[in-house]
Structure 1
């Protein structure tokens, strides 16, 4: 049975997405603007930041990738910036926070469960060694390890991302006079991802937790939460409390119909887990890599390279651990006690 579709509300954003151009800066409603920030070298193309003006306080949600082009766009109206809220610890969301904080004096806030993991260790060589061991355990061929595994420049980049000045707990309000932003902790895409609900303007800022077209990556990372897909399902239940508010995601375009979209995402991930079981039954896969290469990918398995390939394998691993938690016996190595102990 087909699910009822969501309603697109960001028409200029959707047209820009289809035409592969940057959407315009838009005033969504009184005191709320959407500001696209380029995400160079990514198929996502840009991150949508949101600027909220309160009673003397100005807060920016998800400042985006750190770049001069992005800074020029984000500089619109930011002279009075007092706060920066980031939905999660990814470079296309947190990247420009340090530069904006230095320029404006604004505080930076993340969810209280969002922590540095790979970049928290000072011994980068140890992190790189463990990451290659994980990928080897998952069956990545030796000839593709260098392509898929983390490298030192990436780790250094992650270490340079801004540390937060504030931590936001579930159910708390984002500090800001004249603002009404309630925090909802929504782990899954990252361990401490948060969404924000603005009941005054009937808006939900969903970060990467719920996007209108793409199913967010739910990847298993070691060290990290043991069952991120289960966390994601729980988080979807938390955010699907109504269907009329306008959803403001960090990518693609605005829409309404959160409950409908959540139902689609749950259905998609359930079908993906079922496909993993079919692959195990038909191909006698012995590693996560063996499973992943037999799954359906939007542009085909052979098109996946570098980061996209890493995410595909990590996403497959998350389905394996979820299926095990549901009682399925799957004899595919995913973690070792030593790697798991790093959490």
Structure 2
């Protein structure tokens, strides 16, 4: 089964075969349009892979979409969240309230959800502002980017680790830990059907956001984690992919190879950019000079913040590989090519 990405208004729930149904759930105000929520049949009730954005119209789409394929949201047994982002985890809590379902998430993202829920008052805004300042953003840009924070998702009931089997009677659905897009992102291998739910890890036409937050961290390397996770998925073979966005496609391994090549080329271009710079550059300056799908001047503030996070992730990988270095004793942090 393969479909092409169409506007949300043209999307419908459909049978992907083998007891797996796809339900499109809208993401208000987002160019992605929708999240594909999957419902896997079982004798004990369906298990959902992701749940969609927490908004009234999204809830109606999920509830009515399940109803259109003969399922009642009140019968849902569990929700496996591929990662904590709001277009995946947002409605998991409401599903649990309606059905008593469990919510499962990898332990690394569970820790992040707990941290998000512990932020009090202006703490998150202050955290964002300091991160942006250290990256070289101007005062006006800091004001424009900060303060945009979706509600934290519900805390999961069940914590997953790599290789865990999901509680899905009659099927074999195994957790594949694929960090990069988030520290606790997981894919789910439906072993009895040679299919894989890829979340945002492997998408058919676009690549997921890989960023570092705060931008100047030195204890993580999410892009290297992501590239290693692509190799892990490739090792499972040429499976049919059921991603969270766009469309179902064949040969996950081939697409994972393409995505890896894309990031290696991006790393080469970034190294060249720094080699040609006349002086060390801040993360914000580097992001503004990188090649994106639109001019930097046309980026809305929130996308500039995400672009800086992606620039930071690529810089960190080049740093770990010994190609560039960060200049010490300066604020904001700056990077330069090794001579």
162, 165, 177: which one pairs with 1:170? 162
Runs of 4+ in 1 over 6 A off after TM superposition: 333-336
Task: Give the CA deviation at 1:188.
Answer: 0.2
The alignment partner of 2:325 has SS state of coil
Distance 1:288 1:22 in 2: 40
112, 117, 124: which one pairs with 1:116? 112
TM-score, normalised via structure 1 length: 0.87
Could you list the runs of 5+ residues in structure 1 that have no partner in the other structure? 1-8, 337-343
Aligned-pair RMSD on alpha carbons? 2.1
- Alignment check: 8 A CA contact 1:35 1:50 kept: yes
Task: Give the CA deviation at 1:72.
Answer: 2.3
Distance 1:22 1:39 in 2: 14
Matched, 1:206 2:221: no
Q: Which stretch shifts more, 128-137 or 66-75? A: 66-75
What is the match of residue 210 of structure 2? 218
What is the match of residue 145 of structure 1? 142
Distance 1:250 1:55, change over 3 A: same
Distance 1:235 1:197 in 2: 14
Task: Give the CA deviation at 1:29.
Answer: 0.8
What is the match of residue 54 of structure 1? 42
Provide the aligned length of Structure 1 versus Structure 2: 319
Distance 1:248 1:60 in 2: 13
Task: Give the CA deviation at 1:69.
Answer: 2.3
Distance 1:22 1:334 in 2: 55
The alignment partner of 1:119 has SS state of helix
What is the match of residue 78 of structure 2? 83
Determine which structure has greater relative contact order: mean sequence separation of CA pairs < 8 Å that are 6+ residues apart, divided by chain length.
Answer: 1
Distance 1:124 1:298 in 2: 35
What is the match of residue 224 of structure 2? 230
Matched, 1:33 2:21: yes
Distance 2:2 2:210 in 1: 25
The alignment partner of 1:270 has SS state of helix
301, 304, 310: which one pairs with 1:309? 304
Distance 1:65 1:279, change over 3 A: same
What is the match of residue 3 of structure 1? none
What is the match of residue 272 of structure 1? 266
Distance 1:333 1:95 in 2: 40
Could you list the runs of 5+ residues in structure 2 that have no partner in the other structure? 332-339
1:80-123 deviation digits (Å, cap 9, x = unpaired) = 11101100011000001111110111011101221226614343
Distance 1:311 1:335 in 2: 23
54, 65, 68: which one pairs with 2:53? 65
* Mapping of residues 126-137 of structure 1, within 5 Å: 126-137=123-134
1:196-234 deviation digits (Å, cap 9, x = unpaired) = 000212210000111111111000012976111111111
The alignment partner of 1:182 has SS state of strand
The alignment partner of 1:113 has SS state of helix
TM-score, normalised via structure 2 length: 0.88
Matched, 1:192 2:184: yes
Q: Which stretch shifts more, 84-93 or 62-71? A: 62-71
237, 240, 250: which one pairs with 2:244? 250
Task: Give the CA deviation at 1:335.
Answer: 11
